[in-house]
Amino acid sequence: MTDAPPETADIRIEDFLCFAVYSAGHAFNRVYRRPLERLGVTYPQFLVLVALWGEDGVSVGRLGEALSLDSNTLTPLLKRLEAMGFLTRRRSHEDERRVVVALTDKGRAAKGEAGDVMRCVFDAVGLPAPQFARLTGELRALRASLERAAAAA
């Protein structure tokens, strides 16, 4: 009936799933901030690097697909990462519309430092691996539902 349990007459924002997701996201951002300072990148920039460590040499669009972001967000972010020397942006030859994003040596090397960062965050989460994976899966399903609904509208 509502985003909160349906019967709540008195509204408590803590019972809203959307708020739980919203505030957990901010909390992640805050936990990542400190360890990422050593790398010199922001949390969204770090996510872009993670995506590229998984699949390098992709177009802006493909990257946006992986991250659920559009070029209006990615273009300036990628320009900052390029200015810092983590990656390069080059027009594709086969299709001049596309811009191919590729890690530099520095960008690949950062993967090593990232281990420490992720160890930090894993400790902060403090969840055993199975529950960790289950929660991740449930959120992925939630996102899929929401995206389906947003596309239908």
Partner DNA sequence: GGCGATCAAATCGCACACGATTGAAACCGC
Partner DNA sequence: GCGGTTTCAATCGTGTGCGATTTGATCGCC
Of the candidate residues 39, 42, 59, 66, the single one contacting a second copy (CB under 8 A): 66
Is residue 147 near DNA by the rule CB under 7 A?
no
CB 119 → a second copy: shortest distance, Å?
Answer: 6
- Strands (E) across 33-126 are located at 58-59, 87-91, 99-103
Of the candidate residues 12, 38, 80, 106, the single one contacting DNA (CB under 7 A): 80
Of the candidate residues 77, 110, 114, 117, the single one contacting DNA (CB under 7 A): 77
The 10 Å Cβ neighbour count of residue 88 is: 16
Q: List the one residue out of 13, 26, 138 whose CA is nearest residue 146.
A: 138
What three-state secondary structure class fits 102? strand
Specify whether the CB–CB gap between 106 and 86 falls below 8 A.
yes
C-alpha dist (Å) from residue 58 to 3, 101, 151: 37, 5, 25
Q: What's CA 37's distance to the chain center, in Å?
A: 17
Of these partners, DNA, a second copy, none, which one is at the site of residue 104 (CB under 5 to 8 Å by kind)? none
Of the candidate residues 7, 9, 54, 72, the single one contacting DNA (CB under 7 A): 72
Is residue 98 near DNA by the rule CB under 7 A?
yes
Specify whether the CB–CB gap between 6 and 95 falls below 8 A.
no
Number of residues this chain uses to bind DNA (CB under 7 A):
33
Residues that bind a second copy (CB under 8 A): 1-6, 10-28, 30-32, 34, 47, 50-51, 53-54, 66-69, 111, 115, 118-119, 121-127, 129, 132-133, 135-136, 138-140, 142-143, 145-150, 153
Interface ranges with DNA (CB under 7 A): 22, 26, 29-30, 33, 42-45, 59-62, 64, 68-78, 80, 89, 94-99
